[in-house]
Structure 1
Amino acid sequence: MRLSDVTCSECGAGFRRLELWSLAGQKGEYRCPACNSSVEVFDGTKLIAYRLTIEPSVRSIVKAMRG
């Protein structure tokens, strides 16, 4: 098991990332719930979970929405 902190490069939201090597996950992608940008793409070899720990600033959300 590995715990790490991850920050969205677009809006600055912070996440706690949990990676379990003992369980298989699903192929897919985790997208930031605040700005919808891709944070990580999964290959399914291990279980990965995210939890929002630091909300993004309002200014960065507006900027991400305007594109």
Structure 2
Amino acid sequence: MKKGDVTCPRCGAGFRRLELASGSGSKGEYRCPVCETTLEQFDGDTLVAYRLTIQPSIRGLKTG
């Protein structure tokens, strides 16, 4: 199992990323649930899970 931290470049939300090489996942992508920015695309070879650990910055969500 691999563990790591990922930060959304758009809103600043923080995530814990877990990857299990022993399990097979599905093809697709993971998007930030706050701002919909794509954080990773999956090829399905491993099982990957994300968990929100740091709330996003309000400043990062403002446009203009």
- TM-score bin (small chain): over 0.9
Match of 2:50 in 1: 50
CA RMSD of aligned residues (A): 1.0
TM-score, normalised to structure 2, is: 0.94
Give the 5 Å matches for 1:25-64: 25-63=25-63
CA drift of 1:62 comes to 2.0
Deviations 1:13-60 (A, max 9, x none): 100000000000000000001110000000000000000000111111
SS in 1 for 2:61: helix
Hey, what does 1:13 align to over in structure 2?
A: 13
Residue identity in the other structure for 1:37 = T
Q: Identity percentage over the alignment?
A: 61
Give the helix-richer structure, 1 or 2. 1
Q: Which amino acid aligns with 2:54?
A: I
TM superposition outliers: structure 1 runs of 4+ over 2 Å: none
Count of residues in Structure 1 that have an aligned counterpart in Structure 2: 64
TM-score (norm 1): 0.90
